[in-house]
Structure 1
Amino acid sequence: MEAAGYRLLLREPAWEEHRLLKGSQPGVNLHVFSAGARDIPLMLRMRDWLRANDADRALYAATKALAARTWKYVQHYADAKTAVISGILARAEAAAPSTGGGATRAGR
């Protein structure tokens, strides 16, 4: 990943071997998890919902703009966007066919 221009920012082995990498061209945050991680279906549901829902995509983009602020800890940024992400996920879950699982860890 480093050869592709990403740098490692965060390791969270206890959360599905989560790694956060930062890319500069384009400027993105890349989240990497171990195979079979429990949160992957939730993240894919969020992705698919945002692709299909203009209003929530705009809301999410506005919320992500919080990242431009200076945060003492990245968790403060995650906490600041939790309510918006929880709401978006609730709408996505309500619109999706039942899969037997609920939304979790929305603030990540």
Structure 2
Amino acid sequence: MTTEEIEAANLGAAPKLNGQVTLREHDPRWSEVFAVEAASMGERLGALDHRVEHVGSTSVPELPAKPVIDMLLIVPDSGDEESYVPPLEPLGFTLAIREPEWYEHRVLRKRFPDDRAHSAETVNLHVLSAGCAEIDRMLLFRDRLRTHEGDRTLYADTKRGLSRQTWEYMQNYADAKSEVVAGILERAAAEAG
């Protein structure tokens, strides 16, 4: 993404990194944080048809990650923010990113206090509509890394190498992994298909 695209997608000022990315070795408590947050969301979303998945590097055992729990909320219409944003706000979630031109993608963020009893700092809740192709891609990537040591090692090495560089935005770091991610997805799709 360009700087203009990053700034346009963020509600308010896009947070700048202007430094290196901090990675931590996998912490099994990350899956516990996910389970607690998913259960709380389920209670708050009530009758809204939805599904919650743990995605991103914290969802893959043995993979280093930023201390950010990436979650995926699948709803009937991610563009209908009123159906899920107000119910999640009392849990500490705030709408941070709106990308209507990219699958009506939304991101809500929750920051944990410094006295938390686990090693996660933040939750990034990605919201997509049921049937969106990006959902399948995210889950295919996660599942491939969980089950294929070679691709998991390749991705871990890539992350570690890139984390030592200086990035203006976290999105720049994420975009730098695109070629490796595409290769992993291609192998996963070939085996699945």
TM range (shorter): 0.5 to 0.7
* SS class of match (1:16): coil
Provide the C-alpha distance between the structure 1 equivalents of 2:165 and 2:107, rounded to a whole number of angstroms.
Answer: 18
Aligned to 2:143: 48
The root-mean-square deviation of aligned C-alpha atoms, in Å, is 2.7
Could you say if the C-alpha distance between residues 4 and 51 of structure 1 is closer, same or farther in structure 2, counting changes exceeding 3 Å?
farther
Partner residue, 2:99: 12
Quote the sequence identity (%). Answer: 53
Between stretches 37-46 and 55-64, larger displacement belongs to 55-64
Which amino acid letter does the alignment assign opposite residue 107 of structure 2?
Answer: L
Structure with larger Rg = 2
- 1:58 aligned to 2:145? no
Please report the TM-score for the alignment, with normalisation by the length of structure 1.
0.66
> Partners in 1 of 2:159 and 2:137 — Cα distance?
18
Aligned pairs, how many?
97
**Distance of 2:131 and 2:90 partners within structure 1:** 25
Q: Which has the higher contact order (CA 8 A, sep 6+)?
A: 2
Query: Residue 35 and residue 7 in structure 1: after superposition, are their counterparts in 2 closer, same or farther (change >3 A)?
Result: same
Give 1:28 shift.
4.3
Q: TM-score, normalised by structure 2?
A: 0.41
Equivalent of residue 81 in structure 1, options 162, 177, 191: 177
Partner of 1:39: 134
Q: Which runs of 5+ in 1 are unaligned?
A: 99-108
